[in-house]
Amino acid sequence: MENLPLLPLPKAVLFDAYGTLFDVYSVGSLAEQLFPGKGQALGVMWRDKQIDYTRLVTTSNDGAHYQPFWDLTRAALRYACKRLGLNLTTAREGQLMNQYRHLSAFPEVREVLRALKDLGLATGILSNGDPAMLEVAVKSAGLEDLLDHVISTHVIRKYKTHPQAYALGEQACGCSASQIVFVSSNSWDALAATWYGYRTLWVNRSGLPFEELGTQPTHTGASLRHVLDLFPH
């Protein structure tokens, strides 16, 4: 892990939710039960189409076609099943959507958030998820006491990577982007947050290359635990 640049210590740490704190591919085991041999493929395509839809509704007609993240998640599931030729009955859809509502948190999440709180830092989520989804996910993972802010882009009816989405973090924390570390396992999210002005940590759990657009995240690590290396303790 690289050393922290000679800058004032950040005042807050904000995390992306889906893929960073909550494992979006944890639905794969249920998907495999419902569609043997196709569970992994469904999980990947579902996630990719979900993100595609957030970009589509944000950039088309100045957001006139916005839909909440929950609705886009359902639409993405239906598309992925049609694309893979899977029979998505009403019952199966209900099971998979309920599983998505209660995604598993990565095992190190509580430990990291507790350590940041013990260091006196403000913590929070900045997510595309709509408020109801985030409330259930946070409660299911037992994280309510470890988060000062749970910020949803739903309030502006635009999704990341729109600059207004990242501005919500500054507004909630009451400080500038340069005083906030933004943590995401999604490379596109880490890149856009870096462009916006956040100090960023890209959590590269899978050892993937970063985006080839001329900008690197401030920091890169293989686990959420690497955020603790940015602070003396």
- Residues classed as catalytic: 16
| Angle, CA of 55, 57 and 60, to the nearest 5° | 95
Q: Which of 192, 216, 196 is nearest to 204 (CA)?
A: 216
Amino acid (one-letter) located at 64? A
Give residues with Cβ within 8 angstroms of 199, minimum separation 6: 7, 10, 177, 178, 180, 181, 182, 218, 219
Coil, strand or helix at 213: coil
Q: In this structure, is the dihedral angle defined by the CA atoms of residues 33, 36, 40 and 41, taken in order, positive or negative?
A: negative
**DSSP letters spanning 174-188:** TS-GGGEEEEES-HH
Amino acid (one-letter) located at 23? D
